[in-house]
Every structure is written in C-alpha cells, then in structure tokens.
C-alpha cells in the first residue's frame, strides 16, 4: 500500500477515535463509541501491516509483529477480563505506564535508526523519552501504592527531596540539549531515559494514597503527551491527534479532581496537606456525650414515613463489598413507594468516576446516581440521608471552619436532611484526620458496624416492621 493510502487510513482512524470519545458523552451511546474507537485502531493496524515499511520488509518482520501482538494482546485481555471493578485504578495506572513506556521505545528506535535526524526529530525524541519515562515509573509507583505492595500508602518524604528532584530533572534536560546539539551521541538517549525514570519515581512517592485520583489523572495526561510527542518524531498525524486528545482528557480530569478536594496540583504532588489538624477541635470536644447510637430496628422505623431517601456511598462501601446489599435496600424502599437516589461525590472512589462504576456493577440504574451539584439543593427535602463508609466528603466543617485542613472542599450537604443515618465501624477519622461534627449533630443517628452487615441487618429489620 502506498503511503498516501496509509495516511488516509490513519486519518479515518483519528476521526473514529474522536467519534468514539463523543459517544462517551452519554451512557446510551457509549458502548457504540468504544466500538468506533476499536474499529479505528483495527483500521490503523491493518493499514500499517499493509504499508511498504512493514509488508515490504519481508516475512521475518511480520513474524516479530505477530508475536508481539499475541503476547501483548494476551496479557491485555487477561487483565481486562480478570480485573475486579474495585481494582480499576490499578489497571488504569498500569495502562498509563505502558503507554508511556511504548512511547519511550518507539521514539528511541526511530531516533537510533535515523541516518540524519532533523532538529524536530531530536527535540521530540528527547521530549518523548522524558515524559514517557516519568509516566512509566510514576505509574508503577502509583500502581504499587494502590495495590499496597511494597511502598506505604502514606507520602514518602526525605530531606532535600524537592531539590534532588529538580536537580535530576534539570540533568535530564541538560543531557537532552546535548543530544539536540550533537545528534550522533545516540547513547545519551538512554541517559535521558534513566534520569527521567528516577524523576518519575521521586515525583510520585510523595503523593498520599487519598490523592491517587489526581496522580492517576495527571499520569493519564502525560501518557497522551508522550504519544503526541512520539508523533512528532515519526511525522505521524494519527499519534499527534490521539495523543493530544488523551493529554487534554487527563488534564481536564486532573482539574476536576483537584477542585473536588480544593487542592492545587502542586499541593497534591508535594504531598502537603493543609493546615495542621491540631488547629481544629479535638474528637472529645466534638463528640463528647452527643453521639447517638441506633439499633437496626430504630433506623428501620425512620423509613415508615420517609418519602425521599438519599444514599451517600463512600469508598468504605466498596471495601466492605456492600454494593449489592445497598441495591437490595434501595429496591426494598422503592417497593414501599419511597423515592431513592444516590449522591456521588467526585472523589467518592479512588479514581474519577470510580463509584459510579462500582454501583453500576451492582445493577443500580445510572439515572439514580446524582452528581454533587445536582443533589445538594435537594437535601432539605430529603427525609433520610444514609451515609455508608464516607466521612470527609460529608464533613460540614469544610463550610464552617476556615482553619480546617478540608476548608473550602465542596461537600455533600447531608446535614440539611431531616434525619441522617451514618453507617460506620467507629468514630475514627477519615483521610483528613479530623473529627466530623455531623456524627454528633441532633439529627444524626450513628449505626455502628461493617457496611455490608449493617445494610443486611437494616433490610431484615425493615421487612419485619
């Protein structure tokens, strides 16, 4: 196939990718959108196979390609089919990293093979090498932290960390400039890659476990930028278009996550947390004698008269695998004529949109899942709000105490509901490490216990009533 035809196929693939993402703007069209994307990819792969560079290169090349596709495709398919929905952040972290790694290798291969590289090629090769390596190792650290393998979930700090990171980053750039001025020094590419790899690790270890949604979104963006930069190396529009789409997507998600935690990207990346917790009231001052604990039967009675119930799921719900029991509770209440909706905070899960996937997996219809801005005005007309495994995202202190570590963070205003039921193991604080006055409020009942067991007890209590 001649190169004009190949490039035409790449253009068609890029259009299909854009249509694919457009499909994701509504759940009804999303499955079709994803199929558009996959079709575009298949088209691009077939066109490349048929191109002069590949097909013309002989049987041996085709054999190597087939082997790579079978191995990679096999690993990818196994991961995709086996992964638990709760582990989706780990999966995306890995895929981000692999995307970055692929860019490092492709850019390197093309650069080392080039006889007389242009300045455009050398500059973009260095950029691909740096961003790709940061993405690869940063994502491996993120994966490790989320999976809880070697590194602790807590931020890791050492003396002079930011200085060392800066020095290594500048070192990678400096060696990069040397490559641009003297493109025959091809071995320096691996020095750039090595330095950027260390930078990738150093940039991600200070990020705390609760901030991982931001880190993953940012690394997602980097993996796209690395691909776009590789497009500049290859003189290939399909890589540039796709890479910039992914880069834009990751940046938008990063911004949304930061806004939802009222933190800046720098603040998240340095692992810093707002003012110290001592600034606020102590747990004894907040809770002292005012916390009311309720039995399943007492809670069940609340639902007799309830016309509108809002369920607020937090990550604790997913940890205790309570999604399916919560769906049964919602169905039971609806069968009694109660209106039930779910309030989803943007950081309810461990990555953007995670909680929605976990609830959809339990067959909870998506039109019952409401975003924060949409549901907050309705809490005043809500009879019972049930908070399951969430803490900081319903802490009214965010709106009332400017000295609190979570001051200014947008919250779900459950305290405005007539009655609040909080299902929780204990009064232990959430990630922010501060007590929650909601638990001691006059209209709050604490229902202590494991999320799943508590919901099951509640269901049987309602049925008996």
Partner 1 sequence: MDALIPLLTIFMLAVFVGFEIITKVPPLLHTPLMSGSNAISGITIIGAMVAAASSSTLTTALGFSALVLAAINVVGGFLVTHRMLEMFRKKD
Q: Write out the binding residues for partner 1, residues 89-128 only, by CB under 8 A.
A: 91-92, 95-96, 98-99, 101-106, 108-110, 112-113, 118, 120
Q: Map residue 195 onto helix, strand or coil.
A: helix
Work out which of 168, 198, 246, 299 binds partner 1, going by CB under 8 A. Answer: 246
Count of residues interacting with partner 1 (CB under 8 A): 116
What is each CA distance from 382 to 156, 374, 449, in whole angstroms? 42, 14, 24
Residue 148 — left, alpha, or beta (φ > 0 → left; ψ -120 to 50 → alpha)?
A: left
Q: Build a one-symbol-per-residue string for 197-236: x at contacts with partner 1 by CB under 8 A, - elsewhere.
A: -------------------xx--x--xx--xx-xxxxxxx
The DSSP H or E segment spanning 398 is helix 397-400
Q: Does 446 bind partner 1 (CB under 8 A)?
A: no
Q: Does 148 bind partner 1 (CB under 8 A)?
A: no
Q: Does 356 bind partner 1 (CB under 8 A)?
A: yes
Q: In the chain, what's the furthest Cα-to-Cα distance?
A: 82
Q: What does DSSP assign to residue 87?
A: G
Distance CA 98, CA 24 (A): 23
Nearer to partner 1, 342 or 447 (CB): 342
Q: Build a one-symbol-per-residue string for 332-351: x at contacts with partner 1 by CB under 8 A, - elsewhere.
A: ------------x-x--x-x
Nearer to partner 1, 62 or 167 (CB): 62
CB 137 within 8 Å of CB 197: yes
Q: Of 211, 328, 367, 392, which residue is the catalytic one?
A: 392
Work out which of 1, 7, 34, 321 binds partner 1, going by CB under 8 A. Answer: 34
What is each CA distance from 428 to 345, 359, 462, in whole angstroms? 20, 25, 28
Work out which of 263, 308, 354, 424 binds partner 1, going by CB under 8 A. Answer: 354
Residue 134 — left, alpha, or beta (φ > 0 → left; ψ -120 to 50 → alpha)?
A: alpha
Among 172-180, 196-204, 249-257, 278-286, the segment contacting partner 1 (CB under 8 A): 249-257
Q: How far apart are the first and last CA of the chain?
A: 74
| 144 is annotated as an active-site residue | no
Q: Build a one-symbol-per-residue string for 60-79: x at contacts with partner 1 by CB under 8 A, - elsewhere.
A: -xx-xx-xxx-xxx-xxx-x
Q: What are the catalytic residues?
A: 392
């Amino acid at each position: 196939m001649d190169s004009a035809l190949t490039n035409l196929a790449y253009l068609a693939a890029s259009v299909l990718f854009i249509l694919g993402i457009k499909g994701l703007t509504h759940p009804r069209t999303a499955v079709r959108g994803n199929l558009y994307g996959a079709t575009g990819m298949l088209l691009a792969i077939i066109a490349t196979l048929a191109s002069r560079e590949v097909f013309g290169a002989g049987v041996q090349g085709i054999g190597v390609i087939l082997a790579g596709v079978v191995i990679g495709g096999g690993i990818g398919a196994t991961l995709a089919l086996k992964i638990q929905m709760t582990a989706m952040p780990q999966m995306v972290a890995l895929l981000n990293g692999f995307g970055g790694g692929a860019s490092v290798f492709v850019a390197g291969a093309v650069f080392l093979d080039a006889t007389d590289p242009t300045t455009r090629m050398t500059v973009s090769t260095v950029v691909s090498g740096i961003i790709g390596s940061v993405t690869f190792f940063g994502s491996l650290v993120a994966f490790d932290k989320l999976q809880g393998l070697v590194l602790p979930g807590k931020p890791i700090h050492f003396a002079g960390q930011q200085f060392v990171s800066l020095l290594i980053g500048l070192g990678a750039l400096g060696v990069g400039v040397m490559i641009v001025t003297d493109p025959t020094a091809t071995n320096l590419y691996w020095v750039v890659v090595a330095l950027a790899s260390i930078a990738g690790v150093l940039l991600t270890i200070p990020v705390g476990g609760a901030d991982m949604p931001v880190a993953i979104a940012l690394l997602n963006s980097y993996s796209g930028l690395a691909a776009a930069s590789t497009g500049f190396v290859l003189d290939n529009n399909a890589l540039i278009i796709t890479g910039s789409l992914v880069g834009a997507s990751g940046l938008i998600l990063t911004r949304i996550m930061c806004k939802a935690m009222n933190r800046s990207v720098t603040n998240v990346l340095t692992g810093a947390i707002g003012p110290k917790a001592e600034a606020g009231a102590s747990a004894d001052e907040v809770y002292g004698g005012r916390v009311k604990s309720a039995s399943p039967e007492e809670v069940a009675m609340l639902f007799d008269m309830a016309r509108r119930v809002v369920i607020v799921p937090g990550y604790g719900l997913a940890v205790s695998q309570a999604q399916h029991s919560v769906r049964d509770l919602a169905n039971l209440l609806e069968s009694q004529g109660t209106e039930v909706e779910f309030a989803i905070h943007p950081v309810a899960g461990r990555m953007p949109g995670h909680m929605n996937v976990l609830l959809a997996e339990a067959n909870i219809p998506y039109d019952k899942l409401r975003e924060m801005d949409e549901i907050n005005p309705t809490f005043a007309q809500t009879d019972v709000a049930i908070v399951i495994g969430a803490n900081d995202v319903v802490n009214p202190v965010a709106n009332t105490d400017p000295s609190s570590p979570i001051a200014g963070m947008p919250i779900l205003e459950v305290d405005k509901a007539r009655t609040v039921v909080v299902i929780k193991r204990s009064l232990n604080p959430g990630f922010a490490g501060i007590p929650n006055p909601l638990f001691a409020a006059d209209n709050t009942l604490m229902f202590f216990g494991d999320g799943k067991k508590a919901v099951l007890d509640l269901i049987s209590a309602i049925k008996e009533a």
